[in-house]
A and B are shown apart, each in its own frame.
Chain A
Amino acid sequence: MAKVSFNDDLCKGCGLCVNACPKKILQLDNSRLNNKGYHPVSCTDMSACIGCAFCATTCPDVVITVER
């Protein structure tokens, strides 16, 4: 059981975390815009998250918090 949470307004939609996720459950949410005007990242299937923190480690903007 693991959980990732996103500080949406810091996200710049670079997609590095999307590529880093081994479970491929992250994607840029094209239906939303954040304060900066980017499509922020979101998790499509939280139950599949293994809490490896690969996404948070590659994030250049400290958007992601991981719990496990």
Chain B
Amino acid sequence: MAVVFEATKGLTGKPFHYCPGCTHGIIHRLIGEVMCELGILEETVSVASVGCSYNSYEYFACDAVQAAHGRAPAVATGIKRNIKDKFVFTYQGDGDLASIGAAEITHAAARGEKITAFFVNNAVYGMTSGQMAPTTLLGQVTTTSPFGRDASYQGYPINVSELLSNLTGSAYIERVCLTDYKNIQAAKKAIKQAFLAQQANLGFTMVEFLSTCPTNWGKEPLEAMDWLKEKMLPQYPLGVYKGADIDFKKLEADFKAARGGENA
């Protein structure tokens, strides 16, 4: 028998500290798998954020830097501009990226920085125990919107992918979810495409993952998946928001050909 699925070498193997059923673990694994498949593990720098993913540098087997709250795109900019041949990605949640880091991510995209942002959107502040986030849905109950988010008082959710896709500097932006096998494979493909677009210096790239937070939503992991499908998908439709016309097959073939040349 051959092994068809085992733990990727893109992760350090340290047990995740995330709650049961949290999709952070799936996203971590997918990023690790893609780094291994592209053979870029030794030349990738991740930038960890603040929030539940504060510890992500412990899990990715690549180099890593920890940034101040929301400032991961700014740190990534500095790294990428100084070592242009490395792959640089940030790993941020919605509280980090869409709230305190809204300026950094917007301007990184506007400048067309050749970095990749992995944006985990679970519509709530996870680590700080479930406060309302910029991406919280209308009517959603959180600890700071106990009667449900009310548009007249707390405003409307921010659709980050749509927002950033309007900027000329962004090259590839896609929103994916992780509710089942098919969507997980689509998410993995999106991660790969983001790295390929970064490698081709096309501009700013981002993948938004719709994610669950069973603990702070007060739901079982499976219930949380159903809630995501039912409530989050209408507000945050999946799809490619920027870069649908990029020929990723050609980019991958070119990338592999260049790598083959290096090894020969």
Contact = CB atoms under 8 A, between A and B. Distances in A.
A14 B47 CA distance: 28
A22 B51 CA distance: 35
Interface in A6-62: 9-10, 12-16, 19-20, 38, 51, 53-54, 56-62
A1 B2 CA distance: 11
Interface residues of A, number: 28
A30 to B, nearest CB: 15
Contact of B180 (A2, A58, A64): A58
Interface of A: 1-3, 9-10, 12-16, 19-20, 38, 51, 53-54, 56-62, 64-68
B3 A66 contact: yes
Interface residues of B, number: 30
A14 B213 CA distance: 12
B4 A58 contact: no
Contacts of A16: 21, 221-222, 225
Interface of B: 1-8, 11, 15-16, 18-26, 29, 180-181, 184-185, 214, 220-222, 225
Given A15-B21, A19-B222, A38-B20, A67 B2 contact: yes
A62 B21 CA distance: 12
User: Which 4 residue pairs spanning A and B have beta carbons closest together?
Assistant: A60-B25, A14-B21, A12-B20, A66-B5
